[in-house]
Structure 1
């Protein structure tokens, strides 16, 4: 992982758009607390087929205008037209946004036609053609292989296409086996892929929810972790304490090995992130 060590270390936090006023209050409370850590950016997710587009923009703009932290909307291209994408990009530019997480996204249930964009590399290429270098572009990476990829080699081909199209850096799917990340980075180096690949980190606070997410997105929960979590049953406090220990150790190993930062999937909660941050002895990044 020598090539990753030379990149500036950055930290970022991801939220999902709230569904109601109470959810808006909770996400506001979370980003307000996490803003004190001076992250590189906050990102906000985007539902299948743009189903949360309005709420994503609303949340991003509030963060952008109120937190003092760069805000990055997720933008998925599946089931979208070039005209729609062009309008969204202009809207982001008009509101002073400079950062986008560019994704393919999932096809909405019941739909078969992906629209004018089939893959994320096509979206990255389109953004570069339309806006030049205005936006810093993040793309997704899958150390444990995308669940829809036919094999590891084709998955790496897909990632390489996104980088070649103009991605600035990548955020990985979450994982709990650091060896998967190290192997992925080594594979990238062998292909001369030279962008920061930031590990995605998912705190462990709710085992049933985590197991459901992991089964859907293809993220492995190592057997020894799964068995410990199962043994705790409904003991929420023990699950949280064990999860904090496991994820802290994972983050420490990644940073020690030269990972260029961490991207936390917050689930709109600041507490678990703050605990891990404190355990790692990290300091707020200078502005």
Structure 2
């Protein structure tokens, strides 16, 4: 098959970083990646920003986007809302991950959450 490549982006920590990221994605889009993916911050810390960036990539920059979604600190109700919002924004490619625990902590499933990525997939 034909080789392809993708770009993975991480949600920035500042507003200036977000502006710079959007400009970078615009520039890199001309390279025609098969898709771009955007990570879900540690313990869901950047969930809203991840969704905003993924939506921008998918809707406004015209690139297919794969959004990461992790089990860490993710009750089933929050996952359901995130998946609903992703679908409403045209994001159909989701990378389900268990995710890492917050720094210095042991990993544990959220109450009413998921133990493994496959549990999120089956959900």
TM-score by length of 1: 0.39
Alignment partner, residue 67 of structure 2: 73
Distance 1:85 1:8 in 2: 35
Aligned residue among 92, 116, 122 for 2:86: 92
Q: Secondary structure of the equivalent of 1:96?
A: coil
Alpha-carbon distance in structure 1 between the residues aligned to 2:2 and 2:119: 28
Q: Are 2:108 and 2:115, in contact at CA under 8 Å, matched by a contact in 1?
A: no
Give the C-alpha shift of residue 8 in structure 1. 5.1
Does the CA-based 8 Å contact 2:59-2:90 persist in structure 1?
no
**Does the 8 A contact of 1:12 with 1:41 survive in 2?**
yes
Q: Which residue of 2 aligns with 1:119?
A: 116
Aligned to 1:52: 46
Two-structure CA RMSD over aligned residues (Å):
1.7
Aligned length: 120
| Cα distance change of structure 1 residues 125 and 8 upon mapping to structure 2, 3 Å threshold | farther
Structure 1: runs of 5 or more not aligned: 1-6, 127-287
Distance 1:79 1:8 in 2: 38
Instruction: Give the secondary structure class of the aligned counterpart of 2:16.
Output: helix
Deviation at 1:54, TM superposition (A): 0.8
State the TM-score, normalizing by the size of structure 2.
Answer: 0.86
CA deviation profile, 1:88-132 (whole Å, cap 9, x unmatched): 111111111111121110122446532221111222222xxxxxx
- Please show how residues 106-255 of structure 1 align to structure 2 within 5 Å: 106-109=100-103, 110=105, 113-115=108-110, 116-126=113-123
> Alpha-carbon deviations, 1:235-254, whole Å to 9, x = none?
xxxxxxxxxxxxxxxxxxxx
Instruction: Identify the structure with the greater helix proportion.
Output: 1
- Structure 2 unaligned runs (5+)? none
Which residue of 1 is the match for residue 12 of structure 2? Answer: 18
Q: Secondary structure at the match of 2:67?
A: strand
Q: 1:103 to 1:8 in 2, by over 3 A?
A: farther
Relative to structure 1, the CA distance from residue 30 to residue 105 in structure 2 (aligned partners, 3 Å threshold; closer, same or farther) is same
Q: Per-residue CA shift, 1:183-211, capped at 9, x if unaligned?
A: xxxxxxxxxxxxxxxxxxxxxxxxxxxxx
